[in-house]
Amino acid sequence: MKMMRFDESSVTWVFAQQAVSRLLVAFKFFLLARLLGPQSIGLIAACLMALSIAESLTEMGMSHALIQRRELLDQGGLDALWTATALRGLLLTVVLFAASGLIARLMNIPEGKTVLQMVALVPLARCIASVRVVIAQRERRFRTVALLTSSFVMADFVMSAVAALTYREVIWVLAALPLSEFLKAIASHIVFKTRPRLNFDTKPLGEVMEFGRWVWASSLLTVIVNQLDRIITVKTFGVQTLGLYQTASRLAQFGVADFGIAMSQYLFPNFSELARHDKSRAARYALALFSQLGTIALVVATFLCVAAPDIIRLALGKQWSGAVPFFRVFVYLMAAGVLVGLLTAYLRGTGRPSRVTRGTVVQLVCLLVSSGILVPWLGPIGVAFAATISVFVCAAMMLCDVLSDGRDQMRQLLPLATIGVPATALIVILGQVLSALPYHAVGIGFVSAVALVLPLQRLRAGITLTV
């Protein structure tokens, strides 16, 4: 049995960072849910949604381009990149702060103006971090990046928890976010021994921006797709329903998507490296990983769907029972999201960010059409169904792009059909047969765990081989 690796480029650090970060963010969210209730959680979700949309409007995709390109920029180019990013953050902060009142009225949260002004400081804090953080990711120095990121996620968790327990007001809870981001930016310059230098020469950024414009378009469309369902929910059904919707989504993400996010972060630079030498090999590994990860995501999502009432009650309390229907739908959305993350890492790593953008456009169109049909018919749960259907359509389109690179590698997808589908059917049947028994979720969880042993072993072997 191989020992777990802890060297600088080990995947262990990526998963450790993701596990620590997502666990702390989830614990913070669920603590706030218990202390503040659906109304306040809906307000927090609405304010962070506005921030996410604003950041994506100005996301230049330069960090992705810096990782993917063959040659690293010289020091002058890196200074120009940092200058452009910092100016973007400053502009975004000023605009968000000035427009906070207007945004609050548009989102039907007049009480959120002060909270939005607090959140407006976040873009500046994030954009003044050292560009060497991105270079460390390019060079697969995952240990350094993981320790830096995890440290300030912990700081945000501690500050938010203390504020929530002391004041129980949204404004004080969210004050920890910009503070921890500013501290992280300062620490990044200390860790990588960099000194911010302004350089307004944009010539070195030509190639970077050419790649980055596709990442920008994809990121913008992705955030619109990811936030459109929440906009529809808050505008149509109110802040409290948004609180239920968002909390169910976060809980489902914690159960399914976090592993995929970590793996995508790790695989992007590795796919880039593989594609530089052998594109067909990169496609073969992408399909093999898709099959194993798809099996794991499908089995886990089905178990969480069956055990949804127990999970909601234990995690949030009986007052959140209205989140159960949303949670059952969202676990499958997050399962598909895991696969989209893998496919995105492959397509960007092989130099085709435009394919990601195309898939996201189709997802957006599908979301709009599905929402128009399902929301009048099913109400709030129709928004969740529409969002889930659109992600599956996006995943299918991106998978077709990967298959076009390895048409003779279809057999790599067999485990999804031979293990994933039968195991899922068994879990559903057991859920129906054992539903009247106390603690039936424990037995079904054991069956699910057994079904995951082989896919997890193969996934681990596959990830190792991509290095």
> Token match 């002004």: residue?
117
Spatial CA neighbour of 285 closest among 457, 418, 419, 458: 458
Question: Looking at residue 258, what is its pLDDT?
Answer: 60
Question: Looking at residue 113, what is its pLDDT?
Answer: 83
Q: What φ, ψ does residue 250 adopt, rounded to 5°?
A: -65, -40
The pLDDT of 429-433, averaged and rounded, is: 85
Spatial CA neighbour of 388 closest among 330, 434, 306: 330
Question: Looking at residue 388, what is its pLDDT?
Answer: 92
HEC profile for 191-210?
HCCCCCCCCCCCHHHHHHHH
Q: pLDDT: is 456 or 158 the higher one? A: 158
pLDDT in tens, 294-348: 888 888 889 888 888 888 888 777 777 888 899 999 999 988 888 888 888 888 8
Residue 4: is its pLDDT beyond 60? no
Residue 222: is its pLDDT beyond 70? no
| Reported confidence tier of residue 169, pLDDT bands at 50, 70, 90 | confident
Residue 255: is its pLDDT beyond 60? no
The pLDDT of 405-423, averaged and rounded, is: 78
Residue 1: is its pLDDT beyond 50? no
The pLDDT of 371-377, averaged and rounded, is: 90
Question: Looking at residue 70, what is its pLDDT?
Answer: 63
Percentage of residues in the chain having pLDDT higher than 70: 83
Q: Which helix (H) or strand (E) holds 27?
A: helix 11-57
Q: pLDDT: is 139 or 311 the higher one? A: 311
- Quote helix, strand, coil % in the chain, to nearest 5: 85, 0, 15
The pLDDT of 4-25, averaged and rounded, is: 67
Mean pLDDT: which of 36-45, 70-79, 183-192 is highest?
183-192
> Token match 């109110």: residue?
238
The pLDDT of 225-248, averaged and rounded, is: 80
Residue 219: is its pLDDT beyond 80? no
pLDDT in tens, 264-276: 777 777 777 777 7
| Reported confidence tier of residue 249, pLDDT bands at 50, 70, 90 | confident
Question: Looking at residue 390, what is its pLDDT?
Answer: 92
Q: How would you label 68-90 residue by residue, b for 16+ Cβ within 10 Å and e otherwise?
A: bbeeebeeebbbbbbbbbbebbe
Question: Looking at residue 71, what is its pLDDT?
Answer: 66
pTM exceeding the 0.85 threshold for the entire prediction? no
Question: Looking at residue 239, what is its pLDDT?
Answer: 75
Q: What φ, ψ does residue 373 adopt, rounded to 5°?
A: -85, -45
Mean pLDDT: which of 27-31, 134-138, 177-181 is highest?
177-181
| Reported confidence tier of residue 467, pLDDT bands at 50, 70, 90 | very low
Q: pLDDT: is 168 or 94 the higher one? A: 94
Average pLDDT, the chain: 79
The pLDDT of 190-209, averaged and rounded, is: 74
The pLDDT of 32-60, averaged and rounded, is: 75
- Going by C-beta distance under 8 Å and a sequence separation of 6 or more, which residues neighbour residue 286? 271, 342, 343, 346, 402, 406
- Going by C-beta distance under 8 Å and a sequence separation of 6 or more, which residues neighbour residue 435? none
Rg (CA), the chain: 22
What number of other Cβ atoms are within 10 A of residue 372's Cβ?
11
**Residue ranges covered by each domain of the chain:** 1-213, 238-467
Residue 204: is its pLDDT beyond 60? yes
| Reported confidence tier of residue 119, pLDDT bands at 50, 70, 90 | confident
pLDDT in tens, 62-115: 666 666 666 666 777 778 888 888 888 899 899 889 988 888 887 777 777 888
How far apart CA 216 and CA 221 sit, in angstroms, is 8
